[in-house]
Structure 1
């Protein structure tokens, strides 16, 4: 996995890159199907809803390692199946949603490069978002490996 951070005039961003042992279509399905997403993204059972189309809403309640629950809501900004997904995430006290982009590129028929990018208002927000995204990618990689073993 590689990590890239920047501090641009318009915000603090990061990009996480990882190669997953699964075809692009399987990675896309894991990210856009509520029951699969809930299994790997540390979501509370039954909390994930997805209307995967531009303008469609999504929501989930994430469970933290210490047992807390963190409700998340937002909408899909861009959906280009199976290669690009841009999510808007509602942030309390912020007028515009934060956005996170996901890009999938086939490395070979059974491997996919995934790049997650997000820009935040502060370095602290960026670091927290990057940590959460890293946990998501860890869960996704484990889920896909378990599915491949089958």
Structure 2
């Protein structure tokens, strides 16, 4: 497993990009990201709270649980879905007219490796830092889930 991180530059504003190579085929990574029961196991979601309608315009919702035990509901929609290749996920943020978008891209690197790239542009450095930290936690947890459940 390898990880790359890209932070703010003059060109990308308050953006981040995280890239990691996972020891799993693309179809397996896609399944973990788009199946409610599997997503709940690695994405810090409360069991039974995840609903994913994975299609352009489809909605999603989940109640997330922090490591400290606090719970908070999240909702959003999918703006781009290219099976086994890419998802652009919008997250509803109270007080904002437009959703915050995060893009997940998958690239096959041989029969058992997948390169996953998460990227997001935020309004402030503080928002970007929090989103980047959350995405790093998701990638760490996804990596562990795939290692423990290689054929689920």
TM-score under structure 1 length normalisation? 0.96
Structure 2 unpaired stretches of 5+? none
Deviant stretches of 4+, over 3 Å: 7-11
Higher strand share: 1
Shift of 1:7: 4.4
User: Distance in 1 between the 2:50 and 2:65 partners?
Assistant: 12
User: Distance in 1 between the 2:34 and 2:21 partners?
Assistant: 18
Deviations 1:30-50 (A, max 9, x none): 000000000000100111000
CA gap of 1:106–1:56, structure 2 versus 1, over 3 A, is same
> Secondary structure of the residue that 2:145 maps to in structure 1?
helix
User: Distance in 2 between the 1:93 and 1:132 partners?
Assistant: 21
User: Distance in 1 between the 2:52 and 2:74 partners?
Assistant: 12
Cross-structure match for 1:56: 58
Q: Which deviates the most, 106-115 or 4-13?
A: 4-13
User: Distance in 2 between the 1:29 and 1:106 partners?
Assistant: 14
Shift of 1:8: 4.8
Instruction: Give the 5 Å matches for 1:30-69.
Output: 30-69=32-71
Cross-structure match for 1:71: 73
TM-score under structure 2 length normalisation? 0.95
Aligned residues: 150
Shift of 1:70: 1.7
Shift of 1:52: 0.4
CA RMSD of the aligned region, Å? 1.4
